[in-house]
Every structure is written in C-alpha cells, then in structure tokens.
Structure 1
Amino acid sequence: MTDTTPRAAEMLLAVRRGAPRLAGLGDAAPRNMTEAFAVQRAVLSSLGARIGGWKCSAPPGQDPSGAMLDAAGLRASPATWTVPADGRIGIETEIAFRLGRPLPARAMPYTREEVLEAVDTAFPVIEMVVSRYQDPSKVSPMEAMADCIAHAGLILGADVPGWRGMDLPGLVVKQSYGAEVQVEKRGGNPSGDPVVPLLWLANALPHHGLALEAGQVMTTGSCTGLIWVAPGQRVTGGFGGFGEVTVDLV
C-alpha cells in the first residue's frame, strides 16, 4: 500500500455512499497494478466485504486487467437488481468459472491444463456495471482498475454439465432487454477464448501478493459489449447449449 492508497479508496468509497461521481483520482491515482489492487482491497475492507471472485480480461495486443468481486454482489438467477439513482446501469453477458481448489503462489507458472483441473464448474453470468467516474473512458487503465473496472455485481446462472467438452469460444451469445434482442452472435469474448484471461489471472495475482482461492468465481469478459439500460425490464443473457441468466431491473 502506498501513501495515496487510502486517499484513492476514500474518494471511491464516497461515490459508493452517494457523493457525485469523480472526474478521476488525480494525484491519488495508482501508478501500477499492485497499487490498483491495493485500492480495490482497501475499498472492500472499508465496506466490510470479502473477495467472492474476480473479473479478468486479457485481449490480444492489450494490457490485461483484473478486479476483485464483492461476495455480497454475487446473486443467483433469477434475481432483481436496483438501478442507481441516475436511472441507468450497464449489462454484459459473460462466461464464468468457479474454482474447486486454490491456486497458491509457486515458482513455476500454472499451465492451462493445471488451471482447468482446478476449476469445478462453468456457467453463464450477467455482470452489472456501475462506474464511480463521470466518464470511465477518460480515466487511466489503473484508475479503472482501482474502481474494480466499474463492477457492481454478478448474476450467476446454473452450473453447466459437460462444459469441458464444449467449444466455449464459439458459443452463440444472446442478450435481451425486455422484448428487444440487443445482441445475438457467435463468440465475442474479448480474449477470444475465456480460459485465456483465467490463466493470466492465476499466474498474475501472486506477483501482487494475491492468489485464487477455492470457491471463488472468475468472470472472463463481456461477449456482448457494454450496453447501458434503464429500469423496468427483464434482462436475459446466455449462450446456446450453455444456459441463460435473468435479472429484473427496478
């Protein structure tokens, strides 16, 4: 933790508690991933929260990113979600995994096979997105990470039998808002294969004093893109042959 970590955490906490959104963190912004994770952890600690999982992304040619998920924000589908006072929330349909055993720090990197062996199950999710910034596109990547990459919550679908034999990168994703189909296409994970960011996360976290734990949920990036919506409708998201998730926005 640096001397700016408590200040950055307090700025983000103030917004969560009702203060106006931030233009940015200014000179309290984290300078690297270790500092960004420290801000995330400080925010969760102040909220009395525990880490229930992670969001991660590792697109080709771009910097990877990860964020802690508040365990209290993980809800089983079907669910109801209250939209913020400004009247909109972001929604994204994704593929997620749950670990059956921990992946502690070690000298050698984990292989793809070792990470998959540690996974207990996979399932569809809808991520609920709320930024603590006025315009999240105008903050630095480390500021975005400090804010848990605008994570608000995760709606979890049912475990998928036989997921190991499925073509996860090639599944058809569909997301609807009320009667409107917003997205329907094949693939769409920003990393191409949803296992890629999971493997990156397992090997990156120990460099920042962190590690994946048994029971944690890892969601691996939006297959639909981020879409902002208003309350009053049911959102349905899922993948062909992989199940779906529903959340009523109120």
Structure 2
Amino acid sequence: MENDKTACDVASAAGLLLEARRSHVWLRDLPPEARPASMEEAYAVQDLLVQRMGGPVAWKVGSPTPTAEPARGALAANTVHHGATQLPAGGFNVIGAEAELVYNFTSALPVRDAPYGMDEVLAAIGSVHAAIEIADTRYAVWKSVDQFSQMADQMSHGVLVVGTGRTDWRTVDPVNEPMTLWVGDKKEYEVVGGNSAGDPKRMLLWLANVGSRSLGGIKAGDQVTSGSTCGTIFVTAPCSLVAEFPGVGKAELQIS
C-alpha cells in the first residue's frame, strides 16, 4: 500500500521562515503542504534555511534529560555575536534569555564512515566560553506549533552571544559550574550546573557523529552551545543581560 502522505515542501517552508526573519511578519503556522511531519523533514527545512543564510558557523544542541536523544539547531553568522553586544528590540518577537556554555572547535570533524570517539571530539575543542542565547520564534505565538515546525525554525533560535572564556577548558566541570544570570541589577537566576542534559560531552559526541552530518560535519571555528542552565527566562526590552560563569567567563547583551 502506498503512503498517501505528501512530502513536505522543504523549499517553501524554508522560504517562509526566512521571510519571517527578514520582515518580522510572524507566521501563524506553516501551511499544510510545507509543514514537516518528521524529524528528517524538519532538519531538511532547517538545513536549507541555514544554507540560504550563508551556511552554519555554530550549532545549538540540547537534550531534555542526560539519556534522551539530543536535538540540534544549525546557526548562521548573522545571528552569532562575540563580546559585549547591543541589539535592537525590534529584531525579536519574544526574548527568552538562556545562559549557556559554548565550546569552540579549533579542529574540523568532517563527515566520515567510522564514528568519532570521545577522545577525538574533545581533542578538537580549543576553548569554552560563557554565552547567552536568546530563544525566539518566527511563529506569532510562542510554542503554538508542533515540535517539528519548531525544529525547522532552528530550534527556536534567536541570537547567540559568545562571551569570554578559557583555553584550559578541560579544567571546567560543567555539571558543577555555578552560573548567575543578571537582568539589569537584579540577580534573576542562580544555579550550579542546571543543564537538563547533564554533562554536555555526550551531546558534543552526538553532534559530531549524527547531528552535523547533513551539513558536512563540524568545521574548524564552529561554536557549539550546549543547552540552557536556567531554562528560558522571558524578559522585556529595554534590558541588560549578564551571564556569569565564575570558572569560565561572562557574556553580556544589551537589548534596547
């Protein structure tokens, strides 16, 4: 019996999401013919979207538990910033602040037949950094669409701000690293560890062997942000955000 499910119109979906990013006219939903119905279709939309934005320079990867299958978002250069950053509020639909650790890969891990071992993945990392990711959506209402449509939308990625860090990154224990998130002069969140995925090394290995394959693997210079340590904290502009990881560094974002 033939499958009567019509394949997702990947090009149409990527085009609609890209136009929403450019115009700030948010989508109620993707139309049925352009709505991904599987993880594979969602990643295909995401991949084409990011390629049209210039190709990936960074990745977000996360997992709801230390044993669940991770998921990733590929990120283009126009949404990745370095150092203290100031951005206009008009560029966002919603502003969901997340404090994260970012791993900078100084060696490439291209696609190959044999899977990478953990030692190979860790040897490709050059530094770890404090970061702030802003979760955002190209849909009119946050979390109003199905999980595959959210995945197609770069896993609800807005911007990534990569702050200061350290090259002796192996001395950092992310599971026991404290973090403080400041919103203005208010200490909004304080935690030790806090990442639902636990130790991010498992996610980095998954990204190298599975998550990055459709876009050619991890390149030298790619940044990988490894999941929020504070969940998603919604803020209103104007505001200043500072994420402090005392054993790593600090990330700063001003939204005006």
Q: Structure 1 length normalisation: TM-score?
A: 0.90
Contact 2:98–2:228 at 8 Å: present in 1 too?
A: yes
Deviates more, 1:198-207 or 1:141-150: 198-207
Contact 1:87–1:230 at 8 Å: present in 2 too?
A: no
The 1-side partners of 2:215 and 2:243 are apart by 34
| Pairing 1:27-176 to 2, within 5 Å after superposition | 27=32, 28-47=34-53, 49-60=54-65, 62-84=68-90, 88-176=94-182
What fraction of aligned residue pairs are identical, expressed as a percent?
A: 30
* Equivalent residue for 2:234, pick from 228, 233, 241: 228
Three-state SS of the structure 2 residue aligned to 1:158 is strand
The CA RMSD over aligned residues, in Å, is 2.1
The 2-side partners of 1:149 and 1:46 are apart by 17
Measured after TM superposition, the shift of residue 21 of structure 1 is: 2.1
The 2-side partners of 1:106 and 1:46 are apart by 25
Q: Deviations over 1:200-240 (max 9, x none)?
A: 11111365353111110000111111111112221100212
Contact 1:88–1:231 at 8 Å: present in 2 too?
A: no
Match of residue 196 from structure 2: 190
Match of residue 14 from structure 1: 19
* Equivalent residue for 1:244, pick from 233, 241, 250: 250
Three-state SS of the structure 2 residue aligned to 1:137 is coil
Contact 2:126–2:169 at 8 Å: present in 1 too?
A: no
Contact 1:238–1:245 at 8 Å: present in 2 too?
A: yes
Measured after TM superposition, the shift of residue 22 of structure 1 is: 2.3
Contact 2:175–2:199 at 8 Å: present in 1 too?
A: yes
Three-state SS of the structure 1 residue aligned to 2:37 is coil
Distance change >3 Å, CA 92–CA 114, structure 1 → 2: same
The 2-side partners of 1:112 and 1:152 are apart by 30
Measured after TM superposition, the shift of residue 82 of structure 1 is: 1.3
Structure 1 portions without partners, runs of 5+ = none
Contact 2:181–2:244 at 8 Å: present in 1 too?
A: yes
1:204 aligns with 2:205: no
Contact 2:98–2:134 at 8 Å: present in 1 too?
A: yes
The 1-side partners of 2:174 and 2:72 are apart by 20
The 1-side partners of 2:162 and 2:226 are apart by 13
Three-state SS of the structure 1 residue aligned to 2:165 is coil
Three-state SS of the structure 2 residue aligned to 1:69 is strand
